[in-house]
């Protein structure tokens, strides 16, 4: 949502009906998410992933794929995921290279961001094997 709203502020995305509807959908779900967070009962949710995918597509100016996201894996979304995943994997590789030279090495902010984003992006794109691998690594890095 932040990325989408930044695009609206930059005037590269028109705040049209799809953007307004997405904002309404997010605001409707937000109290439930806050309650889960307060109860420390957060979980991966398909509805949140679909909202994130819609926001991502709209931020890219891709309204066509927004309509088809719930029909299965979106090839365009998978391509975006692949490109972003490569960036996150580079961050993980840099950390592993540093760890090979200096042990023990505390998990860096860059590593934590890469694992967290990789996990969320994989869920959003429907690449569940990557999401399932990244989730425990994300938890471990944060601990």
Q: What is the mean pLDDT of residues 124-142?
A: 87
Residue 50 sits in the same domain as residue 95: no
Residue 118 sits in the same domain as residue 63: no
Yes or no: say if 49 and 98 are a contact pair by the CB < 8 Å rule: no
Q: Measuring CA to CA, which residue among 60, 64, 86, 85 is closest to residue 74? A: 64
Residue 123 sits in the same domain as residue 141: yes
Residue 63 sits in the same domain as residue 83: no
Query: Which pLDDT value is given to residue 70?
Result: 44
Residue 99 sits in the same domain as residue 124: yes
pTM for the model stands at 0.52
Range of the domain at 22: 1-71
3-state secondary structure of 11: coil
Q: Which residue, of 71, 101, 129, is where some domain finishes? A: 71
Whole-number Å distance between alpha carbons of 107 and 76: 32
The residue with greater pLDDT, 5 or 68, is 5
What pLDDT digit, counting tens, does each position of 37-95 carry? 899 888 877 788 788 888 888 888 876 544 444 445 677 788 888 999 999 999 999 99
Residue 56 sits in the same domain as residue 95: no
Residue 98 sits in the same domain as residue 108: yes
User: How far are the Cα atoms of 15, 30, 60, 64 from residue 45, in angstroms, in the given order?
Assistant: 26, 13, 23, 23
Q: How many structural domains compose the chain?
A: 2
Whole-number Å distance between alpha carbons of 90 and 97: 10
Residue 84 sits in the same domain as residue 102: yes
Q: Measuring CA to CA, which residue among 49, 77, 78, 50 is closest to residue 64? A: 77
3-state secondary structure of 126: coil
What pLDDT digit, counting tens, does each position of 98-125 carry? 999 988 889 999 999 999 999 988 887 8
């Amino acid at each position: 949502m932040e990325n989408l709203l930044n695009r609206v502020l930059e005037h590269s995305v028109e705040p049209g009906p799809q953007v307004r509807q997405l904002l309404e959908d997010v605001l409707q779900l937000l109290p439930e998410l806050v309650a889960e967070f307060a109860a420390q009962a957060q979980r991966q949710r398909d509805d949140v992933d679909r909202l994130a995918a819609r926001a991502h597509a709209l931020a890219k100016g891709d309204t066509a794929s927004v309509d088809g996201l719930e029909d299965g894996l979106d090839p365009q979304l998978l391509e975006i995921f692949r490109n972003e995943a490569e960036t996150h994997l580079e961050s993980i590789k840099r950390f592993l290279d540093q760890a090979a030279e200096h042990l023990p090495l505390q998990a860096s902010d860059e590593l934590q961001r890469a694992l967290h984003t990789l996990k969320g992006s994989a869920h959003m794109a429907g690449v569940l094997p990557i999401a399932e691998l990244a989730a425990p690594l994300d938890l471990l890095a944060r601990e």
